[in-house]
Structure 1
Amino acid sequence: MNAKMDEIIERAVIANRLDTITKEMGYALERSSRSPIFAEACDFACGICNGAGDLVSQINGIPILAAAGTFSVQEVIRKYSGQIEEGDVFILNDPYQGGNHLPDIGIITPSVVEGEVLFYCVSRAHHGDIGGSVAGSYNAKATEIFQEGLRIPPIKLVSKGQVIIEVMDLILQNVRNPQMLQNDLWAQMGANNIGLARLRELVGHYSVARIKGTVTYLLDHAESLTRSAIKRLPDGAYTAEEWVDDDGFQEKPIRIRVTVTINGEEMTLDFQGTDPQVQGFVNSALVTSTTAAWIGALWALGSDIPRNSGAFRAIKVCLPEGSLLNPRDPAPVTLSTLTPASEIISAIFQALDPIAGGCLPAGFGRYCGPSFYGIDPRNQGFYVGFAFCALGSGGGISGRDGYPYMAPLSNYGGVRAPNIEANEIQYPHLTLCHELEMDTAGSGMWRGGPGVRYSLKFYGEPTNIVMFGDGMKIPPFGTSSGQPGSLNCAELSMPDGQTLTLASKESARTLPEGTVLTVVSSGGGGWGDPRQRDPERVWQDVLNGLISPAKARQEYGVVFTEEGVDWAVTKELRYYQTGWNNPLDLG
């Protein structure tokens, strides 16, 4: 009995040590990077894979990046099997060879012990520019991946501890801010080196055999938990559809269709019926689509399941070739980690909601740019920035209102909103407004998070913006009788007084000095009938400026006096609106 308990404790210690190592890698990457997208937005993920390329541990960073690390490692193994040595470092970003989209560069460093690759440390991060025909690498009018930036197949960047200068030079020659990109690559490699050092300490304390045995157990245990969770769901086929606004070329919405089949201990996510690949950059290659499908499925199955490759074994993902979610090379894919990755997850939520027991939220707001770039008049330096301060909000869920200011769903709060003052130091603009917007939250017993109004004035010249995103036509869905959230919207106020409404996907536009950009992001969808919301919560929302009195009356059936809820009128109004007595005790 004592020996068995010792084994259980040892496994727990090693598992927590691996998780701690990935967190330390993330802290190191955040603190040593140069670009704001790393250091402030934290648009990255770190993980550890075993020698076979199975994901063992990952930091709670950007979900769509973290789980994809296993694909990158497996591509390196496929290409370099038998040629991987201590001191090597690999780099890749090609979406058709283990990457997400071109701005996300993966750095992979093997941990070689006794002549065997025991682990791979992986850092995967979004870089501000990776070349292509538009600065920032979000080319809303790209029709092929070659217009989106530099493609890096799995390749050695460092061989036996020596940087391959020719490879580094080739990469840096094809981007607009080479020094920043190089510094951030050093930060990624440094984070991996910290992971290697901690893994060596782990190996020094335990034998290789015991560590490998524990890793095998961790993967098998995650698989067992996943299968048990699937088995608790009723067998059957559950179908849902979600839609992307457009691809920037065609006007009609693009369908994502999923059928989730539960059969005993196995789950199949079949996307047959999804629309064919499109001309624009909203296509999603196999890695991103599969990762998004895993995220949606595991969210429904429970947070107690470790997010490693063992959990993925019981979830089969079928993506028709030539479809929006598995396009043929060289289709453009840059928007994919935002849209349609988030809509893949949303479709799975809607399919499983009837059997998930209220554990799934309503729809999240979709990301809607822009990026901006130009020459900073203060230092004559080139800059690329992103409107992370205009993030949308999450959907309500049974027992809790949606979180504000955290969308899109594929990132689930992993991208941090930068500090306003720091943003003004880094880029030539002034923030005029940054606040939650009234009446944007989807109404519900548990409402969505409210959207954000964000205005900034550009004083650099020239300033260029590129709009990329979605959600200007299709709002975040409500569920269980909850109402949809609001739409994204964006406009420019020109110095001459003219106002221009922006589309969600626009090619580069040059702005005169003094132009004001205003983005109002989506509020999340609501969960449950709004007329079942506690009237005191509605009153607090009115006091806080999140809901207008008119919306409180029309959608929530709540009326106020100067002192608070008018209980008698509210009870009568709710009865009139619904035709039945409200279950809340209204006195």
Structure 2
Amino acid sequence: MNNLQRMPKVSELPDVSFDGVNEPYIPGETLNISPKLKLHSKWSDDIDPISYEVIRHNLWNINEEHGATIQRISGSPVAIYAFDLNPSILTEDAEFVFFGPYMQYMSGVTDVQVKWLLENRSDNPGIEDGDMFLANDPWVGAAHQMDVMLICPVFWEGELFCWVTNCLHQHDIGGITPASFCPSAESTFDEGILIPPIKIIENNEIRRDIEELYLRSSRSPEIVALDFRAQMAGNMAAKERILALIKRYGPETIKGVMKKIISTAEVDFLEKLSKIPDGEWRERSYVECCRPGDRQVYPAHILVRKKGNHLTFENEGTALQDGAMNATYAGWRGSVMVAINQILCWEQSFAMGGALRHITFDPTPGTFTCARFPASVSTAPVQAMEIALYPTYNVLAKMVYSDPEMRKDIMCTGGSSQFPTVFFNGLDQRGDRYAMGLIDPLAGAIGAFSNGDGISTGGQARTPICKIPNIEHTEQLYPLLILYRREIADSGGAGKYRGGLSAEVAFMPHNTEEILHNTVSSGSALPTSIGMMGGYPGVTNIITFSKDTDVLTRMDEGLLFDDLEALGGETIAVPLRQENFSQKAADIFSVTWSGGGGYGEPLEREPSRVAEDVRAYSVTREAAHTVYGVVLDRETGDVNVALTKSLREDRRHKRIQSYEGDVKTLEGELILEVTQNINVRQGDAGKHYCCSRCSADLGAISGNYKEACISENLPLSVSNPLIGDPDRFVDADPLFRQFICPGCGFIVETEICLRDDPFLDDIRLQL
């Protein structure tokens, strides 16, 4: 593991130029904009409620239609099925009005790019009506090189009125690997072309010289050129509709609605913060393998600090940048913004400009979630950015839990939390070259809620309207045959409320002799869809290769099968980073993605719900007994109430029978409900944590409540029966750590950690 010495945060580097060159671009409080560019800054505060709602919904529809226009013209599976795009509307000075409902982090990186453009292009070459700017430089603001942004200023009577932008993942923009995900890259120089914002459309015409420069590095220039025109059409459609609104209602009214959307969201955000105690909340997760052959594990930390009406996010404790697993400041910030939007701003329809006025992002440069130039960042969205995003749900959930209303918005980590990226390429039956990524893991799973189960194959939370292609469509486009795609029992994290199930897809070559694969995966040794407040994690990613099976013989004989082991052959655990992995005609490639995390103690799940899970093939009989402590009748499947009660009590008793300390019960005033399992009460010695069930004293709020719990270090397989031996992929010693109340034996919290890791100090309140 690389060195984790203390390094300065952005706020501790006042003399460093965060200009998007060697360090990430981080805009200051005021922008240095050329006086050549005139900004439209007049608006009306006198807008009647009906007009406000009509115009607000018009703006929302314009933005959504913007994305749909890109999809219709592109026709790419990336746009149609992966929904790997997002449009945005911003004010003249780059405050968000609306995100689109597609891939959320793509909007999260938009405002910094527009601000860079205002500061660096407003003088030379200038920003004029009819211009559009192309950009994909991650140190300026892109997530990674393939997420290309097209930025369009909207002018009214010679003044910059607002911006419409879109971001679309491109099929290939160069680099050492087809599709431009480069798992063996050691720096950005091994990856696709980097383009800071450049004027590619001038006076409403494409600059041919710039377009040719943009397309030259691509293995698929025709596809990228079509996608560029789809992006251009999306911007033009949104621009024309905004201008039509201005002509109808007047510029000051439209700008007034934009400003009110932002200020309304700000008021709502501040009202929520007023209900939350000051404090700090932390989460820790891990990325495995930063280059081919690597067997190390790299920690990623996220911290949110709430003080008054302000939130600060940090990543201190995250491993140093290394290999090909990194993300830049913009990617990390954009990922964190996804969770903020969904937990704290969901009522505002993706309008989080007001919230951002009260949020500071203060990461540590040089870590792998805030990498300096020239780190490799092409795999950022499926590794460093996801490992920044999904733990943020947990820290925000614990932060808002004390408020009964916001508690309802809690959502555990979802499936595909480290996307099992598989890119396949080769020659099809016509001799044409193809390359594409496996999109099916976008089916993901939604993690458990504070009041109900997660959603099986419910998509990815980062893309609210995501979907996956029909099997037949994939087979039509590429020379492969999909044998099955199915949900997997026990894949959802156990808990009082169970995480959503994930799924498995298996395929073989069809009408081609060979398929070549590049894999970029993590979350295969250690689960990353972690549970919360006693919940267990979802299954890990599982990528399996079955070599020289008898599948062709069975198909010739018309025999059905649903188990790869029945097909014989050699089973190989595919390395997490592998290039040009060859799949022949009788070989089967199988991908299972992670399930949703569970919420709460599994022994508190209603036995009747466990029985129903077994009937629905969501949970196996074995897991019902070993994980949930439920005894089912062998014939009817009904719950044996007496034996279940006895088994659960016995398990809780065994957890605490070796505890030799004294258990003190707190009876003072209830101050705060901290999590489902922890309260704060006023004790003789001040405010103390205590068990929410039995009020056992868990120590002063100035300390870590976990120190007062019984801790158990258990194999990862205890957390989920589908998790295999981590030794297949990593040299580290990961485990499943439980923290148990010494008074009643219920689980207070869980951790996925390494054996030598200290207890995570996940909650530190200021009361």
TM over 0.5: yes
CA distance in 2, matches of 1:94, 1:462: 35
What aligned pairs does 1:17-36 form with structure 2 within 5 A after superposition? 17-36=58-77
Partner residue in 1 for 2:524: 472
Moved more, 237-246 or 114-123: 237-246
Asked if the contact 1:406/1:413 (under 8 Å) is kept, the reply is no
Q: Which amino acid aligns with 2:380?
A: S
Partner residue in 1 for 2:652: 578
1:420 is displaced (CA, Å) by 0.7
Partner residue in 2 for 1:418: 469
CA distance in 2, matches of 1:387, 1:415: 15
Partner residue in 2 for 1:433: 484
CA distance in 1, matches of 2:435, 2:393: 35
Partner residue in 2 for 1:585: none
What aligned pairs does 1:1-400 form with structure 2 within 5 A after superposition? 7-82=48-123, 83-248=126-291, 250-278=294-322, 280-305=323-348, 306-357=350-401, 358=407, 359-365=409-415, 366-377=418-429, 379-391=430-442, 392-400=444-452
Asked if the contact 1:239/1:259 (under 8 Å) is kept, the reply is yes
Q: Specify every segment of 5 or more residues in structure 2 that has no aligned partner in the other structure, as ranges.
A: 1-43, 402-406, 550-568, 654-743, 747-767
Identity within the alignment, % = 26
1:356 is displaced (CA, Å) by 2.0
In the alignment, is residue 483 of structure 1 matched against residue 555 of structure 2? no
CA distance in 2, matches of 1:152, 1:396: 40
CA distance in 2, matches of 1:406, 1:292: 20
CA distance in 1, matches of 2:514, 2:116: 42
Asked if the contact 2:533/2:600 (under 8 Å) is kept, the reply is yes
In the alignment, is residue 501 of structure 1 matched against residue 549 of structure 2? no
CA distances 1:457-480 after superposition (whole Å, capped 9, x unpaired): 023344211101221122121111
Residues 41 and 258 (structure 1), Cα distance of their counterparts in 2 relative to 1, 3 Å cut = closer
Moved more, 241-250 or 548-557: 241-250
CA distance in 1, matches of 2:602, 2:413: 16
CA distance in 2, matches of 1:268, 1:437: 38
Q: Which amino acid aligns with 1:363?
A: T
CA distance in 2, matches of 1:58, 1:325: 23
CA distance in 2, matches of 1:272, 1:31: 43
CA distance in 2, matches of 1:205, 1:182: 35
Residues 5 and 322 (structure 1), Cα distance of their counterparts in 2 relative to 1, 3 Å cut = closer
CA distance in 1, matches of 2:588, 2:391: 36
Q: Which amino acid aligns with 2:122?
A: S
Aligned pairs, how many? Answer: 577
Report the aligned-residue RMSD: 2.2
CA distances 1:241-297 after superposition (whole Å, capped 9, x unpaired): 22222313542221222332111101111222222111x221110111111222233
CA distance in 1, matches of 2:156, 2:71: 28
Asked if the contact 2:345/2:352 (under 8 Å) is kept, the reply is no
SS of the residue 1:556 aligns to: coil
Residues 5 and 174 (structure 1), Cα distance of their counterparts in 2 relative to 1, 3 Å cut = closer
CA distance in 1, matches of 2:239, 2:432: 36
In the alignment, is residue 549 of structure 1 matched against residue 643 of structure 2? no
CA distance in 2, matches of 1:302, 1:108: 25
**TM-score computed with the length of structure 2 as normaliser:** 0.72
CA distances 1:535-561 after superposition (whole Å, capped 9, x unpaired): 222122111212111111111122222
Q: State which structure, 1 or 2, has the greater radius of gyration over its C-alpha atoms.
A: 2
CA distance in 2, matches of 1:84, 1:569: 74
Partner residue in 1 for 2:33: none
1:448 is displaced (CA, Å) by 1.0
**TM-score computed with the length of structure 1 as normaliser:** 0.93
Partner residue in 1 for 2:455: 403
Asked if the contact 1:406/1:412 (under 8 Å) is kept, the reply is no
CA distance in 2, matches of 1:4, 1:180: 46
Asked if the contact 1:229/1:302 (under 8 Å) is kept, the reply is no
Moved more, 441-450 or 383-392: 383-392
SS of the residue 2:172 aligns to: coil
